[in-house]
Chains A and B, each alone.
Chain A
Amino acid sequence: MMDARKKKRKVLLMGKSGSGKSSMRSIIFSNYVAKDVRRLGATIDVEHSHVKFMGNLTLNLWDCGGQDAFMETYLASQRGNIFSDVAVLIYVFDIESREVDRDLDTYHAIIEALREFSPNAYVFCLVHKMDLIQAEHRQRIYEERSAVIRSRSAGFYVDTFASSIWDQSLYKAWAGIVHKLIPNLVVIERFLTAFAKKVNAEEVILFERSTFLTVTSVTSEVGELNPIYDRHERLSNIMKAFKHCAARNTLTTPASAGFVVMHTKTPQFNIFLGRFTDNTYIFLVVPPGEASYNCAVLNTMLAREGFAKAAAGGGGGGDGFPLPPPESLDDSNGANGTG
């Protein structure tokens, strides 16, 4: 399953009718904003879509309509077609559902079918529409629900997330899913760790370009002290909202809007956001300091090329990503006096 050359990953999106599968798919992959999803109708049968992600990875999304009649055909006549060769099953539970036991029975049947045809698939369960629960009860209800879900998962290891399309929790869930799917993540992470150290970054985050999902991130020892744990999801949310605003006001579609570069300097941190590879943005947080910031930005540009190779083709064995040697770091530092 973890073959790096296998570039298409089949992702099943399932759950009861009206639980919010298509809504979240539209927000994450089709540049909808939360209030637009009202326009969506019920999904009939299975909607296929291909999402290009990180260049070499294509998610083959099967959005499976959740009405009972469809569910029955998935489990009976379509069984082999639907459940074979699955990389990921994402099962969505509606927290407001009144038929919890029945939902769980359906889920169990689906899991059994999955075990039969794709025993190595990852399973993610999203407990969705959490915004409808009062804030003080959310954690407790979510934990109870996920314990029940685990008990019905027939031996699969299941990741559960609480999610809502109205806040950043949706990004957290999907970033977790995407993280599991990227083939050469180890190479990318090793590269980023070395890079972060070289430029004294507190944090380096890699965002996917169109979805603004966190692909991966590296945080320094100091950066780990940051008390805000959900900052990556929040960033996804913030940047995507601004992308929508930019698209609206420059009269383009959200899909073609984007950022070329963003610099932010404040007395407490400096941030650089720029295109890294074709499909990613790099988000760099460094401590204040004019000269060292400029140096870090320049190094990011230099490292871009090396990283593109690491991300594209299995990284030539995994150890050969060309970091600029220390001398060139010093050079760029000197050359930067004018900036």
Chain B
Amino acid sequence: MVVNFSKRSGKSSIASVVFHKMPPNETLFLESTTRIQKDSIHSFMDFQVWDFPGQLEYFESAFDLEDIFGSLGALVWVIDAQDDYLDSVARLNRTILTVQQFYPGINIEVFIHKVDGLSDEYRTDTFQDIVQRISDELSDAGYENAPVHYYLTSIYDYSVFEAFSKVIQKLIPNLSTLENLINTLANNCGFEKTYLFDVLSKIYIASDTRPVDMACYEMCSDYIDVIVDISELYSWDHPARKRLGEQIQEAESHVVLHDQTMIHLMEMNKYLCLVSVIRNPEAKDKRGLIDMNCRTFQDALNEVFSRSWEEESAAQDGSSAAEIK
């Protein structure tokens, strides 16, 4: 569960771009949010995005804190870096202190947003200034290791997807298992970088543990777009369309680029797909092997997820607060 805050800072734009595939330049026409908007995302795990109006003072009024924060997994606070952010930071500090007091398990994620308009130097200054202000306040109040994380974001590039990916990953209970599985796969097949993507939002829920490479991420994420867009053009239903033979149910695709880089995409289940960048020029000839390994990974993945559902229902029975719905 994710909640966004702060006035005219671009929260609704972020939500529209990430969860509804709206082109960034169209977000100009979004109206100001005036009431809490709850948005359910049904994907590999169901989560709700609550879009909070920026002008709302939820602590003063009669809002039920338990209702808002009780089942919360992560709190995303969006700060407009191009605006005077002191007020927003002050409000964030008040919020963090309250949340820390009653719900210490909630991850607090601060998006320093609209950085596309700032020069590199100014961007770093702003970032450090905000981080400094918040951590000062926190240590004054006696919280040394509060779960607060900071991201520089913009809807005009991939940074907001990257940031959301990180947020979501913290909420996945068996992330380390997934990462281990992907590492094994990537090492055995010689993949440069592998991502497990949520197809709808293009957030990646896990990747191998090699350092993040924005170039790989961009290509993988754009390749998903290519396949989704092409599928839209040719997936029409008509009785006259006949298949010519047997074929595996899940979609599979790969492309070889001019420099022999191969991008390999395989559908894992309804929501997830595995996308890998392979720089080994021999990979072309060993596609059968790669496909087979990916299928093995798919089986393992589905097993992990079916397990986690069982555990979760068990956990909810025993009254320990489940953070992820």
Contact = CB atoms under 8 A, between A and B. Distances in A.
A1 B269 CA distance: 56
A300 to B, nearest CB: 15
A289 B246 CA distance: 5
B223 A288 contact: no
A225 B242 CA distance: 13
Interface in A267-286: 267-271, 273, 285-286
B257 A263 contact: no
A235 interface: yes
B256 to A, nearest CB: 4
Interface stretch (B120-128, B182-190, B227-235): B227-235
B286 interface: no
Contacts of B241: 202, 222, 225, 268, 287
B262 to A, nearest CB: 9
Contact of B258 (A231, A260, A288): A260
Contact of B245 (A248, A263, A268, A290): A290
B243 interface: yes
Contacts of A238: 225-226, 229-230
Interface string A195-231: 0000010100000000000000000011001111001
A269 B234 contact: yes
B71 interface: no
Interface of B: 215-216, 218-219, 222-223, 225-227, 229-236, 238, 240-261
A256 B258 CA distance: 8
A288 B257 contact: no
Contacts of B235: 266, 268-269
Interface of A: 200, 202, 221-222, 225-228, 231, 234-235, 238-239, 241-242, 245-246, 248-250, 252, 256-271, 273, 285-293
Given A241-B222, A288-B247, A289-B244, A260 B256 contact: yes
Query: What 8 A-B pairs have minimum CB-CB distances, sorted nearest first?
Result: A289-B245, A289-B244, A249-B215, A264-B253, A292-B244, A260-B256, A262-B255, A266-B251
A222 B240 contact: yes
A275 to B, nearest CB: 10
B257 A258 contact: yes
Contacts of B252: 263-265
A263 B244 contact: no
A209 to B, nearest CB: 11
29 contacts: A200-B244, A202-B241, A222-B238, A225-B236, A225-B240, A225-B241, A226-B234, A234-B229, A238-B229, A250-B257, A250-B261, A252-B259, A256-B258, A259-B256, A260-B256, A260-B258, A262-B254, A263-B255, A264-B227, A264-B253, A267-B247, A268-B231, A268-B234, A271-B230, A287-B244, A288-B244, A288-B247, A291-B244, A292-B245
